[in-house]
A and B are shown apart, each in its own frame.
Chain A
Amino acid sequence: MTGLSKYFYIASTSAKSNVAYLGEVASRVIFLAVILYIFLRLWQVTYAETGASELGGFTLAQMLWYLAVTESIILSAPRITQMVDRDVRTGELAVHLIKPMSYPLYCLGTSMGERVVRFALNLGVGLVIALIFVGPIPLQPLSIACLLLALPLAFVLDFLANFLIGLGAFWLEDTTGLVLIYSRITMILGGMLIPIELFPEAMQSWLRVLPFASIVYGPAKMLVAPSTSALTELLIIQSLGIVGVGALVAIVYGIASRRVFANGG
């Protein structure tokens, strides 16, 4: 296998492996159901107390469908930081380095394969729950198309950020703290809990251009309010984010690879 095809093969193997353990993955959806129910109640009470039919341009049904997508994105995130951290600490990285493939691209393939399966399952369950709780929302083929186009770059950008944190294992005793902080910042500044439209106005403009929103808010908004101009803007922000974080990864990985010392076998 040559070029990029081997990494697609790795992604497909990772996806198949996750499908084989679908029962284990499915058991995690109970949490998704609990969190969606809590948010349904939170927003039901908020809409009732304000007497508004729309908040930030979202009806209650749209809000829950939006939350089903944002939760699915966040909950489908593979533990890539822990994987890189482990490889660095155990020295397994040295074994990867002698293989005829790029270690970051190998991790990207594994991560994408796992994420696609987890996301599909979470989204399926999340949308069924949303359907049961608040009924359907008007969906056009454009909504699905925009969501599907916005997701791959969002996943790549999220992977790069997590991989970068994982590389911190070369210098830090523990990267758990950093990844926890990153995931929480993505949740709040990315619009997982509240759509960007409901943030204070002064914050909205800069939140939209940060990479966090292009991982979570951007794709989710595409499902409930699709627009080709918003999609173009989102893809540009995602691409710029990938170039920026990707460059950082390349620099840090270059420095880190020179610190690999293998002893014995």
Chain B
Amino acid sequence: MAAEIIEKEQPVLSRLRSYLGLVGAYTGFNLKSQWAYRGAFISQMFAMAANNFVWVAFWALFFERFPVLRGWGVKDVITLWAIAATGFGIAHTVCGNALALPWLIARGQLDVWMLYPRALLSHVLLGRMSATACGDTVFGFAVYVLFVRPDLPHFCLFAALSFAVAFLFVGFSILTGSLTFFLGNAEGLAEQWRFSMITFSTYPATLFEGFVKIILYTLIPAAFVSYLPIEALREMSLYYSLLTVLGSLAVLLAGILVFYLGLKRYESGNLTEMRG
């Protein structure tokens, strides 16, 4: 309560600066913690980058045989993979706990974060870094620069859209993870929903029509990864860029709203544990 009162008294810009500082501090600590096991950290990063590269190799093979797919060429699909990997990577490099949310809620492990100043969700999300997500981020930027060879405006737009996609992934993870507040142990459901989102995000959205297309803008908002940002980059379009940003913010806000609605139903795990 005290934290909320202090926050309300702060001007918006000052609060934003304060939260950015928090993000920086957590990311720094998490990176140091990962670096303590640098062998595992580097091998996981490398493995994820190699995993993504295999998919890009699949598309390269596919497009060698069938050069155009509904107007998309191999560079468009590589851009799609680059933006999906960078967005997902940034999201879970910074907010590594977003993927563990169902597990944390189901086991009543939010208690410890509730004692900290500032909003609960920020601490929970920032509390961990995913090593494989770092690999996604590095892969995304590298593959875009090496294979698509963008000029400076394209690269800047790519970077900006990657951050928008990162917000979308964080929001989606919060949304699916928060189902646990309402359904009990929803780890399986959240995982399946998230897998579907990731899978649809890595195939050209132009493949889908009708009812499935509506789903890709609503229940599984993959079109904000696999269609709008790619069109924005193809045409250097402000309109598609804005739609991407608006869609991402909508998903993020929906996730935050559902989380705090669900938090009212949260019951403590009464779990005693040591934290280093």
Interfacial residues, chain A to chain B (CB-CB below 8 A) = 24, 27-28, 30-31, 34-35, 37-38, 41-42, 45-46, 49-50, 172-174, 176-178, 180-181, 184-185, 187-188, 193-194, 198-200
- Among A30, A45, A178, A181, the residue within 8 A (CB) of B69 is A45
Contacts across chains A and B counted by CB atoms under 8 Å: 85
Q: Please name all residues of chain B whose beta carbon is closer than 8 Å to the beta carbon of A198 when the two chains form the complex.
A: 61, 65
Cβ of B88 to closest chain A Cβ, rounded Å: 15
Judging by beta carbons under 8 Å apart, are B199 and A31 in contact? yes
Instruction: Given A49-B69, A177-B46, A180-B47, output 5 extra A-B contacts at Cβ < 8 Å.
Output: A30-B192, A31-B195, A45-B69, A176-B43, A188-B58
Is B182 an interface position by the 8 A CB rule? no
- Among A30, A50, A184, the residue within 8 A (CB) of B50 is A184
Judging by beta carbons under 8 Å apart, are B203 and A38 in contact? yes
Cβ of B149 to closest chain A Cβ, rounded Å: 24
Interfacial residues, chain B to chain A (CB-CB below 8 A) = 37, 39-40, 43-44, 46-48, 50-51, 54-55, 57-58, 61-62, 64-66, 68-70, 188-189, 192, 195-196, 199-200, 203, 207-208, 212
Quick one: closest A residue to B47, CB to CB? Answer: A177
Given A173-B37, A173-B43, A181-B47, are A194 and B58 also a contact pair (CB < 8 Å)? yes
CA distance A34 to B195 in the complex (A): 9
CA distance A30 to B203 in the complex (A): 18
Q: Please name all residues of chain A whose beta carbon is closer than 8 Å to the beta carbon of B199 when the two chains form the complex.
A: 31, 34-35, 38
Quick one: closest A residue to B202, CB to CB? Answer: A38
Q: Please name all residues of chain A whose beta carbon is closer than 8 Å to the beta carbon of B47 when the two chains form the complex.
A: 176-178, 180-181
Judging by beta carbons under 8 Å apart, are A172 and B39 in contact? yes
CA distance A174 to B205 in the complex (A): 36
- Among A42, A176, A184, A188, the residue within 8 A (CB) of B203 is A42
Cβ of B246 to closest chain A Cβ, rounded Å: 26
Q: Please name all residues of chain B whose beta carbon is closer than 8 Å to the beta carbon of A42 when the two chains form the complex.
A: 69, 203, 207
Judging by beta carbons under 8 Å apart, are B207 and A38 in contact? yes
CA distance A178 to B70 in the complex (A): 36
Quick one: closest A residue to B69, CB to CB? Answer: A45
CA distance A46 to B66 in the complex (A): 7
Instruction: Say whether chain A's binding surface is mostly helix, strand, loop, or mixed.
Output: helix
- Among A30, A50, A174, the residue within 8 A (CB) of B66 is A50
Given A173-B37, A177-B43, are A193 and B58 also a contact pair (CB < 8 Å)? yes
Q: Please name all residues of chain A whose beta carbon is closer than 8 Å to the beta carbon of B68 when the two chains form the complex.
A: 49
Q: Can you list 21 pairs linking A and B with CB atoms under 8 Å apart?
A: A28-B192, A30-B196, A31-B196, A34-B196, A34-B199, A35-B199, A41-B208, A42-B69, A42-B207, A49-B69, A50-B66, A172-B39, A173-B39, A174-B40, A177-B44, A177-B48, A181-B47, A184-B55, A187-B54, A194-B58, A198-B61
Given A176-B44, A178-B47, A184-B51, are A27 and B61 also a contact pair (CB < 8 Å)? no
Judging by beta carbons under 8 Å apart, are A194 and B62 in contact? yes
Q: Which of A37, A174, A185 has the most C-beta atoms of chain B within 10 angstroms of its own C-beta?
A: A174
Judging by beta carbons under 8 Å apart, are B43 and A24 in contact? no
Given A173-B40, A174-B39, A194-B62, are A188 and B48 also a contact pair (CB < 8 Å)? no
Q: Please name all residues of chain B whose beta carbon is closer than 8 Å to the beta carbon of A194 when the two chains form the complex.
A: 58, 61-62
